A and B are shown apart, each in its own frame.
Chain A
Amino acid sequence: MKEEQSKEKVKKFGMVIDLDKCTGCGACMVACMAENNVPFKEDESKKLDSITWLRIYKLTNGKSFPDADICYLPRPCQHCGGKGDHGHSPCVSVCPATATDYNKETGIVSQIYTRCFGCRYCMAACPYHARYFNWWDPVWPDGMEKYLSPNVSVRMRGVVEKCSFCFHRYQLAMDKAYYEGRREIEETEYQTACTQSCPANAIAFGDLNNSGHAVYELKKDKNAFRLLERLQTNPKVYYLSSREWVRRAGDNYLKDEKK
């Protein structure tokens, strides 16, 4: 059994988001919240309080009318592999509770809510603001408990949560594969909720190590970039844009600094 498992190929799930296609409609944010039992507040405009595993940012090029341009940038957890892809992502390195972990077989950064004690070091460490703290217990409107997904555990007050790349969908897909006597799943069997909900098809999701998956080629595109690449966090979320200013906005450059 040990040998059999070591033969399994190491996967590295990742995402490629085409920013030229994204219209900023927010369908991915809604799908994500519904899929992952993300609690919502009475006043969602209080951004210190609200939780969005996937958030859309609006970028502007800062120019006036004829040259003005905007871009919407959806930001899930980047599932950083850390320098050299050894799994030492910023949040995993600082967690004193072993509540967040990097899985070398899937490349996914996990968050175990029952293990977390809410120190929020990971939130300070994360350069992408991908982590959120539950300042309150979730309050569901009457009867809504029945609509919660049983595949994702609900969080309580005092813990940190973040995007899991819909890992429960991987678990369920693997279950089906095992039942049918397979050890591997197809690309289409494991897709995140945001990917499937995007009406513009801007999000592609798959195994970055698997040449059969769409993301394998997409990430090699000449317009592909990652956020804050100079920090060497080695994220698994790639962005595509044909616009130079958008690509440049992916990192912090000084005004007259050459890329």
Chain B
Amino acid sequence: MNYQLNFAPVFANFDHLLAGMLVTIELSFGAMLLGTVVAIACAAGKTGGPAPVRWLVDAYIEIIRNTPFLIQIFFIFFGLPALGIRFSPNTAALVALTVNVGAYATEIIRAGIESIQKGQVEAGTALGLKRVQIFRYIVVKPALRTVYPALTSQFIYLMLTSSVVSVISATDLAAAGNDIQSQTFASFEVYLVITGIYLVLAVGLSGLFSVIERLAFNYPLSR
């Protein structure tokens, strides 16, 4: 092996990498928030909705969890325009990531909702709370607390998965790498640096989540 690693072209294009990193962060947080909303709605439908709603949610979860993300994003970006639904690459990426993480998060949040004891909900009813209030304060918040570790590791996995959106020419971190390597041919060096950035993002995200956990769930657990 007589190959000299040359990182100069990578660092010459570092602003390009930073711009891509920003898109990756935006896509990840966007999909996390939207995906959580989708998941709470679907989990509510699956645990308390009528049978047709339950079937629909089940179908959604099974289809998404048993097909690759790459095919999902191809379908959304290349397939849906046949039905007149057209997205820009970055929007398609956000939609695909949201649809994807929504399915996984639904199952996680459903497990959390099912862990809430019936007596809690009955106590809420006895106190005269409305159904929405009961769902919001008695069911969702403690449910989220119970499943927080599972949910956040799913979110970190989502951030890593988002690298795949580079294939539909979204402008994320991996795509910035593709651009730089096709101009400089320093493929290995580029992807080595990018992999390092993803690792830093994953570690940072996991640190951020534990700070949020301490701030959001700072009350003692009931026994």
- Asked if A pairs with B, the answer is no
State the B residues within 8 Å of A (CB): none
State the A residues within 8 Å of B (CB): none
